[in-house]
Amino acid sequence: MATIQFDLVSPERKLASIEASEIQIPGADGDFTAMADHAPVLTTLRPGVLRVVAGNETSEYLVTGGFVELSATNASVLAEQALPVADVTRELVDGLVEAATTAAETADPSEKDAAHKRIADTKALLELV
């Protein structure tokens, strides 16, 4: 099976650099799956779970936003925040929801819809804990 080089980086550290067969991405405009020979794409991420399939193993990472750049052979994710789903706690997600809510309260009126969507996407992460 063809693979794609996957790299996940947050401001704190590099979380992954592996050859993957499939990457499920929480895109800002909807979830999508990237595989080898994917058309080039540059898009933003929404808060969600990024899943990476490599061989018989699946790794899951919580991402709060950021960017993904795809080519036929590479997938690079630059996340605002990212961590393995196994490390996610209720307190962490509650803090993310609180931060999204605070940001929505001070958002420009033209950004209110996007701010409320971010709150909803972030609250959906509560299913992880």
80-129 pLDDT tens trace: 999 999 999 999 999 999 999 999 999 999 999 999 999 999 999 999 88
Tokens of 117: 């969507």
What's the pTM value of the predicted model, to 2 decimals?
Answer: 0.92
Domain ranges of the chain: 4-85, 88-128
Q: Which residues pair with 69 in a beta bridge?
A: 42, 76
Contact call for residues 46 and 121 (beta carbons, < 8 A): yes
The maximal CA–CA distance of the chain, rounded, in angstroms, is 48
CATH number of 4-85: 2.60.15.10
